[in-house]
Amino acid sequence: MKEIDFLPEWYKNGRRQQISCRTQYFILGCIFAAIMFWNFIAARSISKAAAELTQTAPKQADAECTLREAAVVKNQMVQMRDKTDILKKMDSRINVADVLGEISFLIDKRIVLSKVEIKAGKFTDKKGGKISGDVLLSAGGENQESSGGKDVHLGNVRFKVVIKGIALNASDVAELICRLEDSPYFCQVVPSFSRNIKTKTGSGPDAMSNQVSEFEISCYLSNYEIN
């Protein structure tokens, strides 16, 4: 038996259009929900990243400040290293305590010193011309051992020692000059002057007049040699 469909064709078309529209609305709603959920997740991530960035900003500023300070310190260290290298090249390798100890050893008890002066001066050759600093070398064995056997450049200076005092007589002054010449610490010993003077000891009626020798001797430290 054949079924008879009494529904008109326009009604069927309307139903199909309604189902198609509902399906499209449902799909669009799912897409909109997915977009909103994605926007929520993205906004939350951005907010979290912004908060972390805000927290790390002071740390970044501190790190930049530390880097600047480190750069300044490094620059100062480089400058100090350069100055140290210059000082090493100009170092005289003179131990003043040893020089004074040698003078104290050479001075007899009959001599009283009034002045001991050590001063640096330009080094000149026998003709009076200045000698370049790179030809002044340390003559002491200790200096050469401490520098690994290499010559130590001292710069174009040498040290002059001036000794002034009073001796009981002129023979004591002559003996001191001989001792200075025999000492390995000194060279070019030259008496600047030696004269007799009178001094008084005691006071009042008991005062006595004595004759002593006032002297001044100049010499140079033997800490260099001409290469």
Q: For the domain that residue 220 is a member of, what is the CATH number?
A: 3.30.70
Same domain, 79 and 119: no
Q: Indicate the number of domains in the chain.
A: 2
Same domain, 111 and 8: no
For residue 15, CA distances in Å to 2, 178, 207 come to 24, 138, 151
Same domain, 144 and 58: no
Same domain, 31 and 71: yes
Same domain, 157 and 121: yes
Same domain, 75 and 105: no
pLDDT at 62 over 60: yes
Q: Please report which confidence band the pLDDT of residue 3 belongs to, taking 50, 70 and 90 as the band edges.
A: low
Lowest mean pLDDT among 42-46, 121-125, 135-139, 188-192: 135-139
Structural domain of 31? 1-90
Same domain, 120 and 22: no
Same domain, 85 and 142: no
Same domain, 76 and 118: no
**Are 137 and 225 spatial neighbours (Cβ–Cβ below 8 Å)?**
yes
Q: Please report which confidence band the pLDDT of residue 153 belongs to, taking 50, 70 and 90 as the band edges.
A: very low
**Higher per-residue confidence, 91 vs 72:** 72
pLDDT at 142 over 50: no
Q: Measure the CA–CA gap between 123 and 117, rounded to whole angstroms.
A: 18
Same domain, 157 and 171: yes
- What amino acid is encoded at 3 in this protein? E
Measured torsion, CA atoms of residues 92, 96, 102, 108, in degrees rounded to the nearest 10: 130
**Are 163 and 118 spatial neighbours (Cβ–Cβ below 8 Å)?**
no
How many C-beta atoms surround the C-beta of residue 200 within 10 A? 9
Of 36, 59, 90, at which residue does a domain stop?
A: 90
**Higher per-residue confidence, 165 vs 142:** 165
pLDDT at 89 over 60: no
Pick left, alpha or beta for residue 108 (phi over 0 → left; psi -120 to 50 → alpha; otherwise beta): beta
Lowest mean pLDDT among 12-21, 25-34, 40-49, 170-179: 12-21
Q: Please report which confidence band the pLDDT of residue 149 belongs to, taking 50, 70 and 90 as the band edges.
A: very low
